[in-house]
Amino acid sequence: MKRTFKGNLLTVLQKQLQFLIMIVVSYNYVHSLFASGRYAFIIAILVFIQLNCTVKKSRHEVVTKSADIHQNLSDSTYILQVHNISLGIDPKAGARVISFSLDGKEQLTSKSIHRNYYGSTLWLSPQSVWSKPQPPVLDVAMYNGVIKKDYLHLQSSVDTVSGLQFEKRFWGDLKDTAIHIRYTIHNISKEVKCLAPWEVTRVPVGGLSFFPKGSDTPLTKSNLPVLDTGGIIWYTSDKSAISSSQKLFMNGSEGWLAHVKNGVIFIKQFPDITHIQAAPGEEEVEIYANKEKTYIELENQGAYKCIPPTEAMNWEVTWYLRKPPENLHVERGNSELSNYVRRVLNR
């Protein structure tokens, strides 16, 4: 305790000394410019404030009203910190989200799991038109990033093949302890482009995924085993039950998809759409398990629309991470689990 007190006292004294030195330097500088020292001290204070602000602005970190945003000089990744939630984005890999954690507990898969399919990113739907691989300029190439006053803005280069350009905007919400993401798809071609935004988020195998069901049954091509009860669709990802690549295509309701593992609930919130609004052969909510049993994809899609030349489409989603109460049992069919998510979203 004594060492801690002494260390804190020295830190305070050092800051006070720096303050006084800057005041003296500012005063001497201003006094040398004016023959009379009548107003020199007041002007010196103003000069000090300006210098202090300039020093703070010169740091490679921006502290906003909504979140702490900075860029790591070592690997160029951007970090958004909202209370105990941290989000990492790699501008060199298509502005992909490579980390999302609560108190240091990582929720996304890394490149060590799969060299191409990891983290979370924006794709184009339907897959029958925008088949794999997605346009490299939009999906894996370098994005230009700028830290604004209260958000992070990233922009792709113009993709002359697809005729599109992506923008991704990230900002934090201190009140709700959440991360907001706004995707913008620009049509820079001379043709109408019809598509739907598609957020693909990869998490490790294991855990429980669930969402409110919509009015329609799953598409017939769905082969992912789920439990349909109480108006909620439940999927437990178990390696022993994955014999091949499996996927669910289904319309949801309420506009959310949740996943819980290791005492953390990951909630994705998005604009709710109907089956008719979905892209051809796709659905609002899709869950995919790869045959190698290494990751699960939590996928949500926006409405299928046609974008005229020179115009754009905006789509916004919100991410939450929460530690549920200890007495909340994580099991399929537990309505208290889905009700907890609704309380987080104020539903």
Q: Which residues contact 162 (CB under 8 A, 6 or more apart)?
A: 124, 130, 135, 137, 138, 193
- Domains, the chain, ranges and CATH? 2-58 (no CATH), 63-344 (2.70.98.10)
Q: Please give the Cα distance from 99 to 162 (Å, whole number).
A: 28
pLDDT digits (tens, 9 = 90+) for 200-220: 999 999 999 999 999 889 999
**Band of residue 37 on the pLDDT scale cut at 50, 70, 90:** low
- Given a cut of 90, whether residue 35 has pLDDT beyond it is no
The residue ranking higher by pLDDT, 35 or 304, is: 304
Rounded Cα gap, residues 335 and 231, in angstroms: 9
pLDDT digit string, tens, across residues 63-72: 345 589 999 9
Judged by average pLDDT, the poorest of 19-33, 122-136, 153-167, 310-324 is: 19-33
- State the pLDDT at residue 82: 97
Which pLDDT band holds residue 33 (cuts at 50, 70, 90)?
very low
- The residues, any chain, with a CB within 8 Å of residue 122's CB and separated by 6 or more, are 138, 166, 168, 183, 197, 198, 199, 200
Question: Which residue is it, tokens 């045959």?
Answer: 291
Could you read off the pLDDT of 134-146 as tens digits, one per residue? 999 999 999 999 9
Taken as a whole, the chain contains a residue count of 347
Own/partner pairs, 225-230, CB within 8 angstroms, 24+ separation? 227/332, 227/333, 229/332, 229/333, 230/333, 230/335, 230/338
**Residue 251: strand pairing partners:** none
Give the pLDDT confidence score for residue 8 in this predicted structure: 39
Q: How much is the average pLDDT of 99-103?
A: 98
The pLDDT > 90 percentage for the chain reads 77
Q: Which residues contact 96 (CB under 8 A, 6 or more apart)?
A: 89, 90, 118, 119, 120, 121, 140
pTM: 0.81
Which range is least confidently modeled, 3-7, 8-12, 195-199, 200-204? 3-7
pLDDT at 279 over 70: yes
